[in-house]
Structures are given as C-alpha cells and as structure tokens.
Amino acid sequence: MSKIQNISGFMGKMQPSATLSITSKAKELKAAGRDICSMSAGEPDFDTPQAIKDACIKALEEGKIGYTPASGLPELRQAVADKFMKENNIKTSMAQCVVAPGAKFSVFTAVATLCGPGDEVILLSPYWVSYPEMVTATGAKIVVIETKAENNFEVTEEQLAAAVTENTKLLILNSPSNPCGSIYSLETLQMIAKSAIDNDYMVLSDEIYEKLVFDEKYPHISIASLSDEINERTITVNGLSKAYSMTGWRLGYLTAPLWLAKRIIAFQSHTTSNATTFAQYGALEALKGSVDDEVEAMRQAFAERSKLIYELVNDIDGLSAVKPTGAFYLFIDVSSFGLNDEEFADRLLEEYEVAAIPGAPFGAPGFIRLSYACDEATIRKAVQRLAACCDSLR
C-alpha cells in the first residue's frame, strides 16, 4: 500500500454510521422493487409544518441568501436562548447559544473543542452510534459504562464512581435515549450532576428527543436546570430534526458556558461557517411556537405507535424490550435465538424484508433497534415478519 493511504490522524479512522448506511441500503432495496418495511431510519415520517416552510420560502424570496455570522442569525440565537430559559429552565444568554448545521455537528463541535489526547470521555451504553466515533476523532479515550435494561438503562452511582478518574473530561448523556427509548429520572440526573461537580468534569446532554415523551410519570428534565454549578459544566444540545420533522434541513443548536461557546464559534467559523441562511428563518418560525399544535399531534402519533409496537413485540416468545417512554425507538433483546445481533438483523432484512439496526454499533450486542417512525400498517406488517423470523429460529 502506498504511504498516501496510511492514515495517521484520528479523523480518518472514523467508521461509516451504521444507522445511515443501513437506512440507505433499505432505501436502495425498496427502489429496486423489494417490499421492505423500513424500521431503521431515525427520522419522523411527517412533513415539516407548513408555517416553517413558508418562513423559509419567504426568506429566500426576500433574498436572504448571504452568510450569517458563523454562530447563527442573532435573532435565532436569541430565540434559542429564550427556548432554553423558558422550556428547559436553563439559565443562558444569546452569547452562549450556537446554531449549527444539525445537532450532530453541535455534538461534534462540543466534543472536538473540549477533548483531546489524554482525556477520558464516559459513554453510557447503549449509546447513539456517533458518540464513540466523535470521541475517537479527537484522540480522547472512550470509557464505556454498560447500563442495564433492569435499571431502565440508567447508570448507577457505583458504576459511575468506578469509571471516573482524574482524566475524566466529559460524560455524554442522551435522554430521551436513542436507542433505548428511556428517560433519565431526576434522582439519577442529580447523582450525575454531583459526580461532575465533585470530580470536575463536563456533561454533554443531548436532548434532541425532548419533545417526544409519552408518560407523565417520566418527564424530560434538563440536567443543566438542576443548579448553577451543574449549568456551568453542561453543554445542552438540541435541534429541529425530530420535534419539527426537519431532518433534511440540517439545523441544530446548543448552549454552553461562555468560555466554551466562544471556542465552538471559532471552530465553526473555520469549518462550516453558518447553517443554511434561509433554513435558519424556518427554525426561527418553529421556535416562535406557531406550530406547537402540529408538534403535539406528532407527539401523540408517536405515543400511540409506541404503545402498539411495544405490545406486539412483547407478545413474541423469546423477545423482550423495555417499554419506551420517549423518542421513537424500541430496543429489543434478541439474544435468546442463538444468532448474534448482526446475523439476526441481516436475516431479518434479507429473508423477511424488515430493516432494523443491530445493537453492536450502539455498544449493545444482542439487541436490535426498531424505529417506529412509520405508519401503523407498516408497524403491524414489520412485527408479523419479525415474528415469522423468530419462529424460523426456534
């Protein structure tokens, strides 16, 4: 091999995203005429609310086609700050809020500006596929804590105490969780906050699924709202993709302590510059609250689908899943069938035409993830096929 292909940096070591590659494969098979039930895509199946589209179209027609500041339109940053203060009870200011092309990039800018070789980053498995790759890209070391279904996939105090060292720089938290569909309790968030303060590390709280919650007993709580001390150590990430069905618009945002927000803005100013200008006007309309009824209707649809898929899947012998309380994923233990999760997902796709994501890329071998961001008929058909696949393995 020529030396030009010898990748010496950390960035080039990233592996492709399993969620995106399996979703594209399912789309290709569908385009080739196969009757695939696509349960792999982490994106809502609804259209973006019309008022958001109209605001974007108006901006384009008014010629809003130039650059904005790298940190985002000032009025959108202000709307983001207002949202965090009003909805999440997080003390922040416009100067601390940064708009980016997608929450994925917001997570990355925070990890990249904060971490490097010598640092340790705690991930709570099952975690979203992109976190370990992003950490690896900075040269920091990944420390994984395996959370358990019987603990509602929440980290325990003992587990956290055993994982923290003097090199711990960051812990990444995602509630409501992709892929578990679970929500962290106030008690666990308080425990994590205390650990971060006592041991001097930061927390990145990815709250992209915050609006998709299904049970009043499990409300979404922002860890940064718990006290000023934890707020000074927390980056809260959110975005428009899931709540407003705007995945392709590529719009995310974060709030961070001012010293870090400044570094993140500097990083964006040399990498992406601003998120697409006219798309930002759509986000401004969304955050103004004019489409809140539509957001609520989508939440209700997800809540109904969640109940349906959970009941149907748990009726199948040999499968078990924790009841989802948020997001739009069902994370299913398939380990009783004697295949590993990748073999199971391959068989399910190739022979039963259901696209699912295996658990291994989420750090949870033995599981598969089904996304129920699809209509009820597709959910029923996919679960029937899943049952047939399980029958064939008994």
Q: Return d(Cα 249, Cα 71) in angstroms, integer.
A: 17
Instruction: Find the binder of ligand PMP among 23, 195, 241, 255 (CB under 6 A).
Output: 241
> Contact between 127 and ligand PMP (CB under 6 A)?
no
In the bound state with ligand GLU, the residue whose beta carbon lies nearer, of 20 and 388, is 20
> Contact between 180 and ligand PMP (CB under 6 A)?
no
In the complex, residue closest to ligand GLU by CB: 42
> Contact between 126 and ligand PMP (CB under 6 A)?
no
Task: Return residues touching ligand GLU (CB under 6 A).
Answer: 17, 19-20, 42-43, 104, 129-130, 178
> Coil, helix or strand for 255?
strand
Minimal distance, residue 85 CB to ligand PMP, in Å: 21
Instruction: Find the binder of ligand PMP among 38, 42, 44, 55 (CB under 6 A).
Output: 42
**C-alpha 212, offset from chain centre:** 12
**C-alpha 160, offset from chain centre:** 22
> How many other C-beta atoms are found inside a 10 Å radius of the C-beta of residue 304?
14
**Of ligand GLU, ligand PMP, none, which one sits near residue 17, judging by CB under 5 to 8 A according to partner kind?**
ligand GLU
End-to-end CA distance of the chain: 46
The per-residue DSSP string of 114-127 comes to H--TT-EEEEEES-
**Of ligand GLU, ligand PMP, none, which one sits near residue 20, judging by CB under 5 to 8 A according to partner kind?**
ligand GLU
**Of ligand GLU, ligand PMP, none, which one sits near residue 303, judging by CB under 5 to 8 A according to partner kind?**
none
Give the count of alpha carbons within 13 A of 43, CB side only.
18
> Contact between 178 and ligand PMP (CB under 6 A)?
yes
Q: Return d(Cα 99, Cα 103) in angstroms, integer.
A: 9
On whether the CB atoms of residues 203 and 234 are closer than 8 A, the answer is yes
**Of ligand PMP, ligand GLU, none, which one sits near residue 239, judging by CB under 5 to 8 A according to partner kind?**
ligand PMP
The site string for ligand PMP over 52-91 (x = CB under 6 A, - otherwise) reads ----------------------------------------
In the bound state with ligand PMP, the residue whose beta carbon lies nearer, of 285 and 326, is 326
From the list 229, 183, 230, the residue with the least C-alpha distance to 206 is: 183
In the bound state with ligand PMP, the residue whose beta carbon lies nearer, of 316 and 330, is 330
Tell me whether residue 290 is exposed, middle or buried, using C-beta atoms within 10 angstroms of its C-beta: 0 to 12, 13 to 18, 19 or more.
middle
Instruction: Find the binder of ligand PMP among 23, 247, 325, 378 (CB under 6 A).
Output: 247
Phi-psi category of residue 273: left, alpha or beta, with phi > 0 → left and psi -120 to 50 → alpha: left
Structure tokens that stand for 84 in this block: 């965090």
- Give the footprint of ligand PMP on this chain (CB under 6 A): 42, 102-104, 107, 128, 174, 178, 206, 208, 239, 241, 247, 252
